[in-house]
Amino acid sequence: MEQPLPRKLVAECLGSLLLAALVIGSGIAAQRLYPDDTGLQLTENAAATAAGLFAVILMFGPVSGAHFNPVVSFVDAAFGGLPWRQAFAYLPVQVTGCVSGAVLANLMFSGSAVTISATHRATVAHGLSEVVATVGLILVIFSLARSGRTERAPAAVGAYIGAAYWFTSSTSFANPAITVGRMFSDTFAGIAPSSAPAFIAAQLVGGGLAFLLVRVLYPGVPPSQAADVLVPPANRVGIS
């Protein structure tokens, strides 16, 4: 049975909200618990994000595919899995969810609802890191989907993002929606608005490169298999 688009949009919005809340909230908690140990702050932020992302994907995957990321949605559409109309409909709710999640995280830690980040990150190294982080994320998702291992995607995506917090200098945003959301929290996980465009551009470049790499590594896969993103939505049972 085809899932109605409004239900998918609610799932994408809620999933994006929880993703932003766990990324930013765990960053705030880590910063307050260990204000003088940046390494420990990053360790705790990465661990919470990896575990939380695993759970959130399982929670909403059967409804919408658990994208929470415009790059994932557009690559899925380019492979023929998600209709372009739905990919474009996902975009505003993913951004809205991530901004709302940032506000929620701020409020949960008794901060102002909106605080604009002053953390500048737009360097060449950060841009390169975002390209690499996004390429890796898309490769994880679609290599599993196109090789019939979709059930492993929630754990694999969580593990990859947790690791990429450490091996990229940008701490692996890899998601335009979460990049926008993180502008609204002047905390450990924030990004200054002036740095966001460079991050988003790098993420789009990474998504395009990953699309080409997946086509090279897994050629000839029909759209029905290309559509298996993260967790198969209920209307694709049997086919992330």
Q: Give the angle subtended at the CA of 163 by the CAs of 159 and 167, to the nearest 5°.
A: 160
Phi and psi based region of residue 192 (left: phi greater than 0; alpha: psi -120 to 50; beta: remaining) = beta
The CATH class for the domain spanning 5-236 reads mainly alpha
Q: What are the tens digits of pLDDT across the range 91-116?
A: 999 999 999 999 999 999 999 999 99
Q: What are the tens digits of pLDDT across the range 16-44?
A: 999 999 999 999 999 999 999 999 999 99
The residues near 9 (Cβ < 8 Å, ≥ 6 apart) are: 64, 89, 90, 93
In DSSP notation, the chain reads -PPPHHHHHHHHHHHHHHHHHHHHHHHHHHHHH-TT-HHHHHHHHHHHHHHHHHHHHHHHHHHH----SHHHHHHHHHTTSS-HHHHHHHHHHHHHHHHHHHHHHHHHTT--S---------SHHHHHHHHHHHHHHHHHHHHHHHTT-GGGHHHHHHHHHHHHHHHSTT-----HHHHHHHTT--STT---TTTHHHHHHHHHHHHHHHHHHHHHHSTT--HHHHT--SS--GGGTT--
Residue 225 has a pLDDT of: 52
Q: What are the tens digits of pLDDT across the range 73-90?
A: 999 999 998 999 999 999
As a whole number of angstroms, the distance between CA 209 and CA 119 comes to 28
Lowest mean pLDDT among 2-11, 61-70, 220-229: 220-229
Query: Whole-model pTM above 0.85?
Result: yes
As a whole number of angstroms, the distance between CA 230 and CA 45 comes to 22
